[in-house]
Amino acid sequence: MDPAADPYLPYDGGGDTIPLQEIPKRGSNYVMTNGGGAPSTTTHLLDFLEEPIPGVGTYDDFHTIDWVREKCKDRERHRKINSKKKESAWEFTKSLYDAWSGWLVVTLTGLASGALAGLIDIAADWLNDLKEGVCLSAMWFNHEQCCWTSNETTFAERDKCPQWKSWAELILGQAEGPGSYIMNYFMYIYWALSFAFLAVCLVKVFAPYACGSGIPEIKTILSGFIIRGYLGKWTLMIKTVTLVLAVASGLSLGKEGPLVHVACCCGNIFSYLFPKYSKNEAKKREVLSAASAAGVSVAFGAPIGGVLFSLEEVSYYFPLKTLWRSFFAALVAAFVLRSINPFGNSRLVLFYVEYHTPWYLFELIPFILLGVFGGLWGAFFIRANIAWCRRRKSTRFGKYPVLEVILVAAVTAVVAFPNPYTRQNTSELIKELFTDCGPLESSQLCQYRSQMNGSKAFTDNPNRPAGPDVYAPMWQLCLALVFKIIMTIFTFGLKVPSGLFIPSMAIGAIAGRIVGIAVEQLAYYHHDWFVFREWCEVGADCITPGLYAMVGAAACLGGVTPMTVSLVGIVFELTGGPEDIVPLMGRVMTSKWVATKEFTHVTLAREVMRPRRSDPPLAVLTQDDLTVDELQSTINETSYNGFPVIVSKESQRLVGFALRRDITIAIENARRKQEGIMLNSRVYFTQHAPTLPADSPRPLKLRSILDMSPFTVTDHTPMEIVVDIFRKMGLRQCLVTHNGRLLGIITKKDILRHMAQMANLDPESIMFN
């Protein structure tokens, strides 16, 4: 019986019987061939007589990877190594090396991330203080390090020492007075502008991909997208160097997001040393997940928060093995950073504070208010920033990035210098706001307390002048808040490395501190009110404004970036205290609300698939009917990324799926390497060549690039199941069949369009992210 007509025989496209050992391989470069026209039962699984075509199996820039193909390639490699393991000691060592190479990569990534983070921290601190002056005895020390050994520091002025000279002192010779103030102002603006100018020039000339934060693009890359050069060596170097310059120029940006990018660059670069990771895009993304955990770990000093961040935010495909590797990378990075000790107190982050003060039930009201403020600010900031970015994209203003950076830096420097809270480094500001006012603190923020604590016997000193009242710091803080909110909108999106975490935390901390001081004043002056009388005794401080600052910082951070568990984990590790977790978590939960999606009517696959009724028919390839010329014209006329291969136009039965890029590369390669391939050569995807007349040119076999097991669903499959399949398998396309015949195709974009349509079509459905 003719095999083509027998419906019960599996059709292998030629040959009389299928050898039992033959198992079709997905997209692999190994070809089961027996070298001739006669069927044979001696095909071996791993035999290959045709060499793999170079370039097949790689991806174009700005395309998605095929997760299933990469996983299969990895399984194949692993199987090959395991089967050879018992042959010799050398093979056994190779298999051990293969198993442990994953750990080696994450160790190297952690080491590099920690070292680079230490370098960035030290250099940024030094450059930051360079705007104010220099240390004459040792030029490489910043202000704090310069005065480290001096004995001239006093309790009230902890930063004064003779070795540190401000620019006014060096240039004019005098330290105080209006002339020196103006000179300091001028030098501050000069340094800020030159740092910003250098940063944007370096980015523009060497590595344009180094600008921005990096986390959204890394999320995209980790979900399977290819952006060539985004995690390369030049991007790494430029990002490190210009991040320091951008932070030191006083712009309202942070370094957390860029540190994650730096860590992922390290992970990418080290994965190129191991062919297990460099040749397989899916495995590389496991390393990148671990690298992003290391990045957050060094940015915040929170290894567990880093792992949670990587799990929740950045990763698409996160098996359990990656969890251990991420944690290990985060720990190694944190350890290296700690041993470099950039802040001189064995802490990983400048604003680490230990809090063990209790909070009271009535304080939940201002905490919830701060949560609402955080959510509102987040919404306002996102909307304003998107509008500004759109303006930048569409008008001529976006054509001058260097000028834009200089302008923003100039405005920031000019407005920031007079206010002491905006003049200092943002991390130091956050630390000052988090630190509660105790007897050991003498910052300007705490001076009003000397008035309040007049009843305390020990601090009662009739000879000390009354400190400035509470209004001066409150006004300055309010102005700082407004300034930071406005400048962050214009700063985020500039063509320099910029992060959003620190400015958001600063805004939240300022708002929280204002609220905290207000509540504190309320409790002091109205301590006979019911709420305060229950919990606060006269004269005792029951309100800790520093805690409000922390809650505010967490609120704003949660309002602008969609992190929940990882945010709580990071703040938990920053403060080291579980007592404050309850208000934080409660506040984080009030700004998130998750509900499930509901469909009211069932959509089937055939309603979403292409081609629709009005579209031209599906572009397919037949398995042995085409010539090279026809194939090339099909590819050139359409813009599809792949083509299904069918048995023949009459039967429409599915054989497999072939990608455009692979076909193009295979044809090019055949033209160059094989003799006699001409435009009217027959192209066949079958195992054996079709029978051709004697004078026809040599046929071209393209079976090795054919994917023999594409995913198919029937046309009656409900769309929920199709969406589920896409999500869980990471598919790019899925073929739709009816009674075994090819009907259409559903791609990832169709799925996304369908999901968006569901959100609008169905008014009863509730969908939050």
Partner 1 sequence: MKSVFLLEAFSVACFVLLNQVTAKNSEDIRCKCICPPYRDIEGQIYKQNVSLKDCNCLHVVEPMPVDGKDVEAYCLRCECKFEERSSATIKVTIIMYLSILGLLLLYMVYLTLLEPMLKRRLFGHSQLIQSDDDVGQPFANAHNVLSHSHSRPNMLNKVEHAQQRWRRQVQEQRKSVFDRHVVLS
Interface residue list for partner 1 (CB under 8 A): 111-112, 115-116, 118-119, 122-123, 126, 138, 140-141, 145, 148-149, 151, 153-156, 158, 198, 201-202, 204-209, 211-212, 217, 227-229, 233-234, 236-238, 241, 244, 269, 336, 339-341, 344-346, 389, 392-393, 398, 401, 439-440, 442, 458-459, 461, 463-464, 493, 495
Closest to partner 1 by CB, 159 or 629: 159
- What HEC string does 544-613 produce? CHHHHHHHHHHHHHHHHCCCCHHHHHHHHHHHCCHHHHHHHHHHHHHCCCCCCCCCCCCCEHHHHCECCC
Tokens of 94: 């190779």
Closest to partner 1 by CB, 71 or 204: 204
- 373 near 511, Cβ under 8 Å? yes
List phi, psi (to 5°) of 98.
-65, -40
User: CB of 223: closest distance to partner 1 in angstroms?
Assistant: 15
Closest to partner 1 by CB, 145 or 714: 145
Q: How far is CA 320 from the centre of its chain?
A: 20
Q: How far is CA 730 from the centre of its chain?
A: 19
Tokens of 706: 């054919």
Residue type (1 letter), 667: I
Residue type (1 letter), 155: F
Closest to partner 1 by CB, 36 or 344: 344
Judged on CB neighbours under 10 Å (0-12, 13-18, 19+), 302 is buried
User: CB of 296: closest distance to partner 1 in angstroms?
Assistant: 20
Q: 682: which DSSP letter? A: B
User: CB of 389: closest distance to partner 1 in angstroms?
Assistant: 5
User: CB of 618: closest distance to partner 1 in angstroms?
Assistant: 30
Closest to partner 1 by CB, 212 or 306: 212
Closest to partner 1 by CB, 64 or 566: 64
Closest to partner 1 by CB, 118 or 133: 118
User: CB of 244: closest distance to partner 1 in angstroms?
Assistant: 7
Closest to partner 1 by CB, 236 or 251: 236
Question: In a 3-state reduction of DSSP, which class is residue 165?
Answer: strand
- 604 near 719, Cβ under 8 Å? yes
Closest to partner 1 by CB, 135 or 670: 135
Closest to partner 1 by CB, 392 or 431: 392
User: CB of 486: closest distance to partner 1 in angstroms?
Assistant: 19
Nearest to 105 by CA among 285, 319, 341, 234: 285
User: CB of 542: closest distance to partner 1 in angstroms?
Assistant: 21
Nearest to 430 by CA among 501, 378, 518, 493: 501
User: CB of 406: closest distance to partner 1 in angstroms?
Assistant: 16
User: CB of 151: closest distance to partner 1 in angstroms?
Assistant: 7
Closest to partner 1 by CB, 366 or 493: 493
Q: Report the 10 Å Cβ neighbour count for 463.
A: 4
Tokens of 735: 């073929």
- 162 near 152, Cβ under 8 Å? yes
User: CB of 118: closest distance to partner 1 in angstroms?
Assistant: 7
- 542 near 523, Cβ under 8 Å? yes
Closest to partner 1 by CB, 236 or 563: 236
- 417 near 182, Cβ under 8 Å? no
Closest to partner 1 by CB, 122 or 480: 122
- What HEC string does 83-124 produce? HHCCCCHHHHHHHHHHHHHHHHHHHHHHHHHHHHHHHHHHHH
User: CB of 643: closest distance to partner 1 in angstroms?
Assistant: 27
User: CB of 749: closest distance to partner 1 in angstroms?
Assistant: 17
- 526 near 533, Cβ under 8 Å? no
In angstroms, what CA-CA distances link 86 with 54, 81, 83, 89, 116? 30, 10, 7, 8, 42
Q: Please tell me the distance from the alpha carbon of residue 721 to that of residue 723, in angstroms, as a whole number.
A: 5
- 711 near 735, Cβ under 8 Å? yes
Closest to partner 1 by CB, 122 or 708: 122
Tokens of 547: 């805690």
User: CB of 230: closest distance to partner 1 in angstroms?
Assistant: 8
- Per the listing, tokens 């404050």 go with 580
Nearest to 745 by CA among 665, 654, 662: 654
Closest to partner 1 by CB, 336 or 574: 336
- Per the listing, tokens 């004697």 go with 694
Q: Please tell me the distance from the alpha carbon of residue 437 to that of residue 549, in angstroms, as a whole number.
A: 12
Q: Please tell me the distance from the alpha carbon of residue 747 to that of residue 496, in angstroms, as a whole number.
A: 36
Number of helical H runs and strand E runs in the chain:
28, 10
User: CB of 214: closest distance to partner 1 in angstroms?
Assistant: 9
Residue 536 CB contacts under 8 Å (≥ 6 apart), including other chains: 360, 523, 527, 542, 543
Residue 89 CB contacts under 8 Å (≥ 6 apart), including other chains: none
89-130 helix and 67-84 helix, angle to the nearest 10 degrees: 130
Closest to partner 1 by CB, 203 or 550: 203
User: CB of 628: closest distance to partner 1 in angstroms?
Assistant: 30
User: CB of 234: closest distance to partner 1 in angstroms?
Assistant: 6
Q: Please tell me the distance from the alpha carbon of residue 636 to that of residue 662, in angstroms, as a whole number.
A: 14
Closest to partner 1 by CB, 372 or 384: 384
Q: Report the 10 Å Cβ neighbour count for 571.
A: 25
Tokens of 717: 């499959």
Q: Please tell me the distance from the alpha carbon of residue 620 to that of residue 417, in angstroms, as a whole number.
A: 67
User: CB of 546: closest distance to partner 1 in angstroms?
Assistant: 17
